[in-house]
Structures are given as structure tokens and as C-alpha cells.
Amino acid sequence: MLALDLLVNGLIFGLFYALMAVGLAMIFGVLKVVNFAHGEFYMIGSYAYVLIALKLGIPPWLALPLAALTGGALGWLVERLLMRPLYAGHGSWSSSKDEYAVVVTFGLSLLLVNLVDKIVGPYPFRGPVLIETSRFSIGPVMLNGQKLIAAGVSLCLLIGLALFIKRSLWGRQIQAVAQNRLGASLAGIDATRTTSMVFVISGMMAALAGALLAPLINPGPDVGAFPAIKSYVIVVLGGMGSIWGGMAAALILGVCESFFAVYVSYAYRDAFGLMLLILVLLVRPQGMFGEKGREL
Amino acid sequence: MSLLRTEGLQKHFGGISAVDDCSIAVEPGEILGLIGPNGSGKTSLLNILSGFLAPDAGSVWLGDEAVTGMTPVQLANRGLLRMFQMTRVFTRISAVDNMLTAGLARGLSEAEAERRCETLLDELTLSQVRYLDAGALSGGQKKLLEFGMCFIAPPKIALLDEPFAAVHPVMREAMAGFIRRRHGEGQTFILVSHDMPIIVDLCPRSVCMNAGRVIAQGATRTVLESPAVIEAYLGSSVGSSAHV
């Protein structure tokens, strides 16, 4: 019975991880660079949610989409101001894009953490809950209302995103740009606009993850660090840039962590993902769901 | 009026002149052959025409519109499409989705894109593999699929860069037949190829480049027999060579 409890709670954490990691996977998919400021999208989302709800007195259910919009706006700005020189125009940085992206996104991460630290303060806030309930059990599974609501919203968003990517014209264009950026341009797909859209979606998803968890984690300026590291682990485990692989890897990591924390060591719970990453890479360097080899 | 023309195009890479004072014109409905030895500037010219390179000087006109320096997407949306020697299909979605994605991106309605997709899949003999991921197709089938993606929304002009390179003769004939049929419908092409029998067969008129410059243009047979073109491909005659 304990196993069922661990499985359900692990899947719930996996959904939160997926919400965070899927944006990182999408950015890697379309630009083939790692966004080291992804954790700060999460941090900005949690702060936006808390400050909008507490300081402006706006109901939490309305603060949630506003936090997502804040993350989306940040994503749009980052792409427009910092990432576009990487690939747009004839004098772009594309020949050294990896170095450029590492320096720029790492710098942005430090900037955002320190800006929040100076402007809002270094002390953690506690976000308002979406629903006031105490812990309750369904059979052997112990849950709390906020966590369940957050998991439900995450699940709906991930299903919505999956349908959007698979079925919509824009989703097809994102897949096309991720699979062959040059080919997409030749087919008449505006890869620049598509990349911008991916950053907006990525910012919204990470910000929503931060907002949904704000009542559970008491966000401070460096709150994005751990979720970001887990997202990198998930993206590599899932197969770099694979959205579906990332979602599956997030759920697997959530469940494995949950069991590891109880049966092995709670103290090393956060290190477990890194251990799992090393083990998987030893056996499958392309990740659990990645393609073998690379296209030339 | 020419469908596509260039005036005094120049492109330098450091001290190398890749395109030097290049002026050509493509008339509506013609297949213009673009030939020249390796390193003669054909691909650089194609890169400028299709928006992948900005020229240092000169201009490109599509009809009466100056399109110099426009991006590949802007040019694709104006009806100038480029195919590379290496195929650029989307490997992890099906052949049919590749074509639909290209058609919808260029403004076709879903119904129209599906109708044209069916016709092209039949014509290109890809119906049997329509639901396979494009990455699973053979090299020749990928090239045919790329033709389908290009012509699902017929462009004003298609720039084909070595479409027949490393392709099985049967596939090559299928592609040549496809080009002939589109040409019969009035489609305009620029065809870059080292395959002279195909150039002679498909292109009534050709331009030959060497060292970035246009060294001959006119009727294809006349161009191929031009002493400047023969020298560009074969070097100067034995008697005049200082190295022999």
C-alpha cells in the first residue's frame, strides 16, 4: 500500500518536473542550445504569483494565469533581445552559438537572481493556496489539496501542449524547425517567429510550475536552481530536445525519487536524479528516448 | 520583364571573390542551367538569390520588386524556393505531414493542401510510403519528397542545387520527368548541375561561371562549346601550359 502512495505522489512530482522541463526541451529542440536561465523563469513565475496575489490582492486563481503571462513575456524578451543575435541575420553568432548561449543565459540567470534579491529581498515568501484543505487520503494514498490541484492543472497543461504540438499548424511548425531549421526556412516556415513562440511557451510553462508550487516551497531568489538542475537531468534522460521523451523522463524521475527517498535515503533524494543520469548515460548515451547517433 | 534578375552582384570572403559583377536574367517559364567547375561561385550565387547570403554590392530583382538581402522565408513567401544538394526534410514526421506542413506554411487551406498532397504523392510515386517517417525513406525518395514539399504550393521560380547528385538513375529520370512536366505547365527553374547530359536535355539556355564571374551565357550548346568554358573545365591547352 505504501508503494501505491509513493507511486501516486511520485507521479505528481513528475508532472511538476515535466511542466518545468518541457520548455527546456523545446528550446533545445529549436535552437540546439541550453538555456541556463530556465530556473529563473520558474523563480519569476513563483514571485509573480505571490506578489500579484499578496501585494495586489488579486485572487490566486487569477494570479496564476497572470504569473504565466509574466513568464511568457520574460521568455519573449529573452528571445527577442538575447537569443535572436544567435541565429537571425547574415551577421549572426551561429558559428559560435554554444559559447554565446552559455555565457548569455548564465549571465541572465545571475542577473535575475540578484535583481530579485535586491528589489524584493532575500527572504522567502509563502504563496497563497489555491484551495484551503488539509491533508486527506484516498485509500492508502495521502494527498493535500494544493498538491492535487497543482498536479491537475499541470496534467491539463501538458495534455494541451501535447495536442498543440501534434495537431495544430503552429505545433507542426515547431516540430519542423526542431527537426531541420534550414529545411523549415526553405519550406516557407518562419523559424524566427517559431523560436519566439517556443520561448514564450517555455517561459509560461516554467512560470506556471513556479506559481503552482509557490504555496508548497516558499520561494526565495534562488528557488529556481534545483528545479533547473532536475530539468537538465530530465532533458538529457529524455533524449536532448525530445518533448515526449522529456515528459516521460520527468514522470519516471518523479516516481524513482519518491521510492528512493523512502527505501534508500531521504537526504540524498535530490542527488538521486544525477546518479540515475550517470547510470543511464553509461548504458544509453543518447538518453532513454533519444535517437541513436546524430544527423549530419 | 525577366522573372528574376541580378545586377552587378558581388560577394567576397576575405580576399576571395566568390561572386564578381554577376548579372543574369531568368525569363518566365524557362529552365536556366547554371554550370561551372567546383569553386566557380554557383552556390554562392544561389545562396544570395535565396537569401542565405547578403551581397556586398549589386541587386536582386524578383519581377519588379527589389529583394536584395531578404531572408529565405521572405523570399519563399514571394515564390522563390531553393532546394539544396543535401535533402532538408523533417525526418521524424511522416512524408505526408512533411508536405502538408510546407503547404500550410505557404498559405494553402487545409483542404487544398490535402488535395495537392494526394496528387503529388501519386505523381512522385510516394503513396506507398506516405505514412513512414521521412527519416526512414531512401535518399532518392527524400529528394522526391523535397520536390513535393517545394511544389505543393507552386513557386514562381525554383532554384535546384545539384538535385541529381548521388541519385539512382531510375530516381534521376523520375526527377527529370517531374521537372519536364512542371516546365510544360510554365514553371520557371534555375538548375545547377555538373551532369552535362541532363543540362543539355533540360536547359535550352545556360550560364557558366568561373572564379565568381559569368564567363558565358546563351544557348546551352553554344555555351558548352565556348573556348572560355572549355578552358574553365579543362584548363589551358597543353602547349600553352607553363607546368607541362
Q: Tens of pLDDT along A120-133?
A: 988 888 888 887 77
Please choose, from the candidates B135, B190, B140, B202, the residue with its C-alpha nearest in 3D space to the C-alpha of residue B165. B140
Q: Count chain A–chain B contacts defined by CB atoms under 8 A.
A: 72
Q: Are strands B188-192 and B31-35 parallel, antiparallel or unpaired?
A: parallel
Is the Cβ–Cβ distance between B90 and B99 less than 8 Å? Answer: no
Band of pLDDT at residue B14, cut at 50, 70 and 90: confident
Report pLDDT for B183. 93
Residue A143: its H or E element: strand A141-143
* Partner-chain contact A172 B100, CB within 8 Å: yes
Residue B70's closest chain A neighbor by CA?
A: A89
Is the Cβ–Cβ distance between A242 and A254 less than 8 Å? Answer: no
What is the sign, positive or negative, of the torsion defined by CA atoms of A273, A227, A29, A102? negative
Q: What is the CATH number of domain A2-283?
A: 1.10.3470
pLDDT reading at B243 higher than 50: no
Cα–Cα distance, A124 to A115 (Å, whole number): 15
Question: B179-215, pLDDT tens digit by residue?
Answer: 999 999 999 999 998 889 999 999 999 999 998 999 9
Residues A205-220 as b/e (b if ≥16 CB within 10 A, e otherwise) read: bbbbbbbbbbbebebb
Q: Output B230 or A197, whichever has higher pLDDT.
A: A197
Q: Output A146 or B241, whichever has higher pLDDT.
A: A146
Residue A181's closest chain B neighbor by CA?
A: B88
Can you tell me the mean pLDDT for B89-111? 91
* Partner-chain contact B71 A185, CB within 8 Å: yes
Residue B55's closest chain A neighbor by CA?
A: A90
Cα–Cα distance, A4 to B120 (Å, whole number): 53
The shortest C-alpha distance from B96 to chain A (Å) reads: 12
Report pLDDT for A90. 55
Q: Grid coordinates representing A144? A: 493535500
Question: B121-137, pLDDT tens digit by residue?
Answer: 999 999 999 999 999 99
Is the Cβ–Cβ distance between B161 and B83 less than 8 Å? Answer: yes
Q: Enumerate the domain spans of chain A.
A: 2-283
Is the Cβ–Cβ distance between A238 and A289 less than 8 Å? Answer: yes
Cα–Cα distance, B77 to B75 (Å, whole number): 5
Q: Output A288 or B27, whichever has higher pLDDT.
A: B27
DSSP string, A52-96: HHHHS---HHHHHHHHHHHHHHHHHHIIIIIIGGGTSSTT-SGGG
Cα–Cα distance, A184 to B98 (Å, whole number): 10
Chain A residue numbers with beta carbons less than 8 Å from the beta carbon of B102 are 187-189
Report pLDDT for B111. 94
Ordered structural domains, chain B, with CATH: 1-79+156-175+186-235 (3.40.50.300), 87-154 (no CATH)
pLDDT reading at B154 higher than 70: yes
Report pLDDT for A291. 67
Interface test with B, best of A186, A194, A197, A286 (most B CBs within 10 A): A186
Share of chain B above pLDDT 90, in %: 64
Q: What is the mean pLDDT of each run of 10 residues along chain A (296 residues)?
A: 86 93 90 90 95 92 95 96 78 70 92 94 85 77 83 93 91 90 86 94 95 88 91 88 86 92 88 88 82 52
Q: Output B75 or A141, whichever has higher pLDDT.
A: B75
Chain A residue numbers with beta carbons less than 8 Å from the beta carbon of B137 are none
Task: Show the 3-state SS of chain B.
Answer: CCCEEEEEEEEEECCEEEEEEECCEECCCCEEEEECCCCCCHHHHHHHHCCCCCCCEEEEEECCEECCCCCHHHHHHCCEEEECCCCCCCCCCEHHHHHHHHHHHCCCCHHHHHHHHHHHHHHCCCHHHCCCEHHHCCHHHHHHHHHHHHHCCCCCEEEEECCCCCCCHHHHHHHHHHHHHHHHCCCEEEEECCCHHHHHHHCCEEEEEECCEEEEEEEHHHHHHCHHHHHHHHCCCHHHCCCC
Residues A137-151 as b/e (b if ≥16 CB within 10 A, e otherwise) read: eeeeeebbebbbbbb
pLDDT reading at B56 higher than 90: yes
Report pLDDT for A285. 83
Can you tell me the mean pLDDT for B53-68? 94
Q: ipTM more than 0.90?
A: no
Chain B residue numbers with beta carbons less than 8 Å from the beta carbon of A183 are 88-90
Cα–Cα distance, A229 to A250 (Å, whole number): 12
Q: What are phi and psi of A57, to 5 degrees?
A: 70, 25
Q: Grid coordinates representing A134? A: 488539509
**DSSP letter assigned to residue A222:** T
- pTM for the full model? 0.82
- Give Cα A188 distance to the centre of its chain: 29
Report pLDDT for A89. 61
